[in-house]
Every structure is written in C-alpha cells, then in structure tokens.
C-alpha cells in the first residue's frame, strides 16, 4: 500500500515538487540569451574555482548594485578599474545566482562625483526688507551685483545712499569668486545684510540654483535679499532668501520708498525730541519764575511787616506825646 496521493482527484491539479535537481529546468527567460553591456567597477577579482586555467571571476559594482561576471583568464583587468563587459546572463546552477559571462570591451571614464552640499537650517526668523529698513540705513546693505543690475538700480532714480554702499562686482559664471565676495562682505562691521542683484538678460547659468552660494549666504547669519530678474522661475536663492524681488528696478524702488519712510520717521523723531527739549526748558523757566515770584512776595511781605511796625511805633509815640501834652496842660 502506497502513501502517495491519488492523481485523479476531481478538481485538484497536482504539480511536481520543486527540488534543486529540477529548478534549473524550470527557470526560463528568453531575454537571458541576448547579449548585454554592463558597466561598473571590477572588484573581487580572482580565478574561477571551477576552471582556473581559462577564466577569471569577479563582481561589477556601481553604487549599491553589483553582478558577478566571468571573463577569459588572459583579460587585463585591474582591481577597482572601471570596465565595460559584454556578454550573456547565465544562472549559476551551483550558487543559484545570476552571472555575466562575456569579455572585457573597454574601460570607461566615470563622471566626476559632485559632492552633496547640505544647506544648514536658518538659525533666525526671516527679516523682511521693510523690517530691516526700520532699524538700518541703505548703507548697511552689502551688494553682490552685476554691472547691469547695478546700472538698472541707478536708472530708477537718484539715490545718494547707493553711492555709499559696499558693492562687489559679480559674475554669474564665477561661483568661487561670488562665494568669496559673500564671505568678505559678511566680515565688514558696517554690513548688516546682503543683497544679490542681477540685471535683466544676463545668464543665470549655475549661480541662481547654486547650493554652495546659498549655503554661504545662509551661514553668514545675516539677512539677505535677491533680485534675480526671473519672474517665471523660483530659484534656489529665492527659496532661502529673507525676501526676493522680481528684478533690480523693483528692488531699488522698494528700497528707495523704505529709505524715504525711514528718513521721515527720523525727522519726526528729531522734531519730537526737539519739542521735548523745548518743553523741558519752558518748565525750567516756569520753575525759575515761580522761585523769583516767591522771593519777591516774601520780600514784599517782609517790607509790609516792617512798615506796619514802623507805623505802629509812630502812633504809640504820638499818643504818648498827646497824653504828655494833656498832663502838662492840666498842671499849668
């Protein structure tokens, strides 16, 4: 009597059990037979254990991916060398792993790895240009501006304070020099904020979206404002700036209005302080007048008392003389 299940149970489909012996026959993929070209770094180079005289084995690695490969033993391939291997994908029946079998085609030049620039978080709240202008003059702004941007700011109207500002000429094609200029401006004691200004029609190239320049501006700890002349785009500098403006003329116009308002407030404050000083002088003058009036009143009161005593003395003397006269009259 056998324990094997019956194959003729209605409604039940029996399939053979998967074992290491029949797994290779079950794997079928038409694309495995086509040649492929794989690029990576040759690592773990060694002679193949199953055929050391004819083949070398290793792994092609690129970033987080890798694949085993097998090439001829006379292939000149160094450890860590960038290589392109052309071959066919096979399933290694011993290790049940995918393996590339072919030949070394050529080396390849890896693209330079661009370091990831991490822009630090802002350690303060954003400061709008309006808020900045309440406490500082235009001369407290350090400008990183192209020639066209600077000329456009001047073209919006006369502004004496601009000529007194620190301005570093800027080229939107020289990232390193722009970063050095930002660092230099931030070290000046008179600079309390930085403005990055670009003229219309100039190429943004890399600086408008430069993580290194954005990082340098944020790390200064100073408020910074940008006017890059790109109304349809939001660039990296726009995202990290305290406030961004459409173009240089727009920034200059806003700055001029704020400066006029600040000067008006300063003049009003000066007038208030002057009136307060005058009020203090008036109060002091009134106090001095009161003191003088008090002294005069005391003097009059003293004079009046003296006069009263003198009149009383005279009246007493006159009365005594009258009495004496009457006595003499009676005696005579």
285-317 confidence digits (pLDDT tens) = 888 888 888 888 888 888 887 778 788 888 887
Tens digit of each residue's pLDDT (9 = 90 or more) over 51-63: 888 889 999 888 8
- For the residues 250-258, what does the mean pLDDT come to? 86
Strand spans (E) along the chain: 35-47, 55-62, 65-72, 82-92, 97-107, 141-145, 166-169, 193-197, 224-227, 243-245
Confidence of residue 212 (pLDDT cuts 50, 70, 90): very high
- Strand, coil or helix: 259: helix
Digit-coded pLDDT (tens) for 101-152? 888 888 878 777 667 888 998 888 999 999 998 888 888 999 998 888 888 8
Give the Cβ contact number of residue 293 at 10 Å.
10
* CATH number attached to the domain at 32-107: 2.40.50.140
Give the Cα separation of 153 and 171 in Å (integer).
17
pLDDT by residue (tens digit) across 148-183?
888 888 887 656 777 788 888 887 778 899 999 999
Q: Is the pTM of this model over 0.75?
A: no
Distances (CA, A) of 64 to 40, 45, 70, 78, 83: 11, 18, 20, 20, 16
Identify the bridge partners of residue 107 per DSSP, sorted by sequence position: 83
% of the chain exceeding 90 in pLDDT: 17
- Could you count the other beta carbons within 10 Å of the beta carbon of residue 148? 16
Q: Which CATH number fits domain 129-257: 3.40.50, 1.10.287, 2.60.120, 1.20.120?
A: 3.40.50
The DSSP secondary structure of 77-128, one letter per residue, reads --TT-EEEEEEEEEEETTTTEEEEEEEEEEE--PPPPPPPPPPPPPSS----
As a whole number, the mean pLDDT across the chain is 80
Cβ-proximal residues to 223 (8 Å cutoff; 6+ apart), any chain:
126, 127, 132, 192, 193, 194, 242
- The domains of the chain are located at 32-107, 129-257
């Amino acid at each position: 009597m056998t324990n094997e299940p019956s194959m003729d149970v209605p409604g039940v489909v029996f399939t053979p059990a998967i074992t290491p012996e029949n797994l290779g026959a079950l794997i079928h993929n038409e694309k495995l037979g086509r040649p492929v070209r794989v690029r990576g770094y040759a690592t773990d180079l060694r002679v193949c254990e199953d055929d050391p005289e004819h083949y070398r084995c290793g792994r092609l690695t690129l970033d987080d991916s890798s694949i085993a490969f097998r090439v001829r033993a006379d292939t000149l391939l160094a450890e860590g060398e960038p290589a392109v291997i052309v071959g066919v994908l096979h399933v290694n029946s011993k290790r049940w792993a995918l393996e590339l079998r072919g030949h070394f085609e050529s080396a390849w030049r890896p693209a330079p790895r661009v370091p990831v620039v991490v822009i630090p978080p802002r350690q303060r709240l954003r400061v709008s240009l309006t808020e900045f202008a309440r406490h500082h003059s235009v001369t407290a702004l350090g400008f990183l501006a192209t020639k066209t941007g600077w000329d456009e700011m001047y073209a919006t109207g006369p502004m004496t304070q601009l000529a007194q500002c620190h301005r570093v000429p800027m080229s939107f094609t020289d990232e390193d020099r722009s970063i050095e200029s930002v660092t230099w401006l931030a070290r000046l004691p008179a600079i309390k904020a930085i403005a990055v200004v670009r003229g219309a029609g100039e190429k943004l190239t890399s600086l408008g979206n430069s993580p290194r320049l954005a990082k340098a501006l944020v790390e200064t700890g100073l408020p910074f404002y940008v006017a890059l002349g790109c109304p349809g785009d939001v660039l990296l500098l726009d995202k990290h700036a305290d406030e961004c403006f459409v173009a240089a003329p727009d920034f200059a116009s806003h700055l001029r209005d704020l400066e006029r308002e600040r000067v008006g407030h300063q003049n009003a404050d000066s007038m208030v302080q002057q009136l307060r000083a005058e009020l203090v002088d008036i109060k002091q003058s009134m106090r001095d007048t009161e003191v003088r009036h008090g002294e005069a009143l005391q003097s009059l009161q003293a004079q009046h008392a003296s006069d009263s005593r003198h009149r009383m003395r005279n009246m007493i003397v006159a009365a005594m003389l009258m009495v004496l006269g009457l006595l003499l009259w009676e005696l005579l």
